[in-house]
């Protein structure tokens, strides 16, 4: 059997394609860099807090906070008049605000155009639906209660690298209450980059996210020692006791697939990280299959969630495989399962869905019910080409990378984006590769070519373009 290397350029680029399509739900992970905001800060005033709390970092975790928290000298006040809250920021911090940028299409009233519906939402929800405070190597993002699940605008960083994600938590004090801020820490596969993100949801559905955003591999220590203590003070200065102008008496929870409570759990399949369909294995051979999934529902996937076997061939795995990290709405997780190839020759497929802590199944696709799967072919002992790694004639691929000319495009659609892939091989040979791409904008689809074949006549870098 001729050996081929199946190379997958996984372009999970999370380009924020705001092209007249709903820009919906996204949230931590890494790495991501906010656009540089204008020098104009948010609303400033000379308000003096009267009932803010002592920062949690100065209190034992077991104590109930009390007292008056006064902002340091020179700090500014941002006030959100519509939703009735204020927060204090250092003088050097910059404030960026966003309004409605999209909406689930099934929420649009019958007979109304998408643009008209967005205009209605913008008038009702204002242009400060999401407020992001940028300070040194960190950020604090505040999402208004009407933006549950980032329904109308992304409010925080998005994107994820390849590496280890671990759950984390810490306490913050807001409005006289101690809250557990849940989060995750990330270390890149090479170990040369790390960051963290934390988030807390208040009883009125306001969500506050804070963490590292710099993207500098050498900046994390400075963030921990100098930036994070200030971010915590910003978070803990949040005060929603002031009156707002939003008319909650007429507010109705939207219906449709994006509404919290309608279909709270839903996933988006972003790609096969390992073991593409049709990969060949010997009988009894063990292998690890990894899927990349995004949480585009309204609730956080906890470690009580699991990947649940639905039908087909289980291939030596338990029916339920617990998730190894918490995933907030918009978060991304690589789900890995170790399988064992069956002993008999043939093609085998196993179908899996996610399951919540109450044993409710959910999946991917528009309805949130479709399964993901693993598909392999078992071949006889001695047959060449079990897991495809080397190319023909003994050549080997050492790396495969992908880049895009405009990862932060915002404008009209359709749009042409130019991808460039580079394969580095040791020696000549025949190879097979394909592109996989995804975007954080629901409903946006890439038009990409199918599997491609190439015959390298030399070793070194080989470039491929697609647009």
Give the model confidence (pLDDT) of 377-391 as tens digits: 999 865 544 444 444
The label of the residue with tokens 């399509």 reads 21
Same domain? 79 vs 207: yes
What is the per-residue pLDDT for 340? 94
Which of 193, 228, 250 is the last residue before a domain boundary? 250
Task: Assess if residue 278 is contained within a domain.
Answer: yes
Task: Assess if residue 186 is contained within a domain.
Answer: yes
Same domain? 232 vs 283: no
Q: Please give the Cα distance from 204 to 145 (Å, whole number).
A: 6
Average pLDDT over the chain reads: 74
CA-wise closest residue to 21 among 104, 100, 98 = 104
Same domain? 127 vs 167: yes
The two three-digit tokens of residue 78, written as one number: 């941002």
Which of 197, 223, 250 is the last residue before a domain boundary? 250
Same domain? 357 vs 244: no
Residues near 32 by beta carbon (within 8 Å), at least 6 away in sequence? 14, 157, 158, 159, 213, 215
The SS3 of residue 435 is strand
Q: Please give the Cα distance from 57 to 155 (Å, whole number).
A: 25
What is the per-residue pLDDT for 262? 38
User: How far is CA 213 from each of CA 220, 312, 361, rounded to the nearest angstrom?
Assistant: 9, 42, 34
Q: Please give the Cα distance from 137 to 443 (Å, whole number).
A: 33
Q: Please give the Cα distance from 443 to 394 (Å, whole number).
A: 42
What is the per-residue pLDDT for 81? 96
Same domain? 75 vs 204: yes
pTM: 0.49
Same domain? 280 vs 242: no
What is the per-residue pLDDT for 382? 56
Which of 344, 378, 412 is the last residue before a domain boundary? 378
Same domain? 191 vs 280: no
Same domain? 196 vs 321: no
Residues near 60 by beta carbon (within 8 Å), at least 6 away in sequence? none
**Cβ-contact 15, 23 below 8 angstroms:** no
Domain count within the chain = 3
Task: Assess if residue 128 is contained within a domain.
Answer: yes
The SS3 of residue 220 is helix
Condensed to tens digits (0 to 9), the pLDDT of residues 173-185 reads: 998 888 888 887 8
What is the per-residue pLDDT for 402? 65
Same domain? 71 vs 95: yes
Q: Which residues of the chain have pLDDT under 50?
A: 1-67, 256-263, 384-392, 440-442
Same domain? 278 vs 198: no
Supply the range of the domain harboring residue 417. 392-466
What is the per-residue pLDDT for 259? 38
Same domain? 355 vs 421: no
How many Cβ atoms sit within 10 Å of the Cβ of residue 48? Answer: 10
What is the per-residue pLDDT for 76? 94
């Amino acid at each position: 059997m001729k050996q081929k290397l199946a190379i997958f350029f996984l372009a999970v680029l999370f380009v924020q394609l705001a092209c007249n399509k709903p820009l919906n739900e996204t949230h931590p992970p890494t790495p991501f860099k906010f656009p540089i905001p204008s020098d104009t800060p948010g609303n400033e005033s000379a308000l003096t807090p009267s009932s803010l709390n002592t920062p949690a970092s100065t209190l034992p975790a077991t104590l109930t906070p009390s007292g008056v928290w006064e902002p340091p000298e020179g700090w500014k006040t941002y006030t959100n008049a519509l939703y009735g809250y204020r927060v204090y920021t250092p003088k050097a911090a910059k404030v960026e605000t966003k309004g409605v940028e999209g909406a689930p299409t099934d929420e649009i009233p019958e007979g109304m155009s998408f643009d008209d519906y967005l205009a209605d939402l913008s008038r009702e929800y204002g242009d400060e639906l999401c407020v992001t405070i940028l300070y040194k190597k960190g950020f604090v993002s505040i999402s208004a209660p009407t933006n549950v699940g980032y329904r109308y605008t992304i409010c925080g960083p998005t994107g994820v690298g390849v590496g280890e994600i671990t759950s984390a938590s810490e306490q913050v004090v807001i409005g006289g209450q101690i809250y557990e801020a849940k989060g995750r820490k990330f270390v890149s596969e090479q170990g040369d980059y790390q960051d963290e993100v934390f988030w807390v949801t208040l009883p009125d559905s306001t969500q506050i996210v804070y963490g590292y955003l710099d993207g500098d591999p050498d900046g994390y220590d400075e963030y921990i020692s100098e930036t994070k203590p200030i971010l915590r003070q910003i978070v803990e200065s949040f005060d929603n006791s002031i009156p707002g102008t939003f008319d909650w008496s007429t507010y109705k929870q939207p219906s449709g697939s994006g509404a919290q409570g309608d279909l709270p759990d839903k996933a988006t399949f972003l790609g096969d990280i390992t073991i593409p369909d049709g990969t060949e294995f010997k009988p009894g051979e063990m292998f690890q299959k990894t899927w990349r999934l995004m949480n585009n529902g309204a609730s956080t996937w906890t470690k009580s969630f699991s990947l649940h076997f639905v039908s087909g061939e289980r291939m030596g795995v338990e029916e339920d495989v617990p998730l190894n990290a918490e995933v907030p709405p918009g978060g991304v997780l690589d789900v890995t399962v170790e399988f064992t190839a069956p002993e008999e020759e043939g093609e085998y497929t196993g179908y899996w869905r996610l399951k919540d802590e109450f044993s409710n199944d959910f999946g991917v696709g528009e309805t949130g019910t479709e399964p993901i799967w693993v598909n392999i072919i078992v071949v006889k002992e001695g047959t060449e080409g079990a897991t495809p790694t080397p190319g023909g004639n003994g050549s080997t691929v050492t790396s495969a990378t992908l880049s895009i000319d405009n990862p932060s495009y915002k404008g009209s659609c359709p749009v042409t984006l130019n991808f460039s892939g580079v394969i580095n091989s040791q020696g000549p040979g025949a190879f097979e590769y394909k592109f996989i791409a995804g975007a954080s904008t629901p409903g946006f689809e890439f038009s990409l070519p199918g599997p491609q074949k190439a015959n390298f006549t030399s070793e070194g870098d080989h470039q491929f373009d697609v647009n």
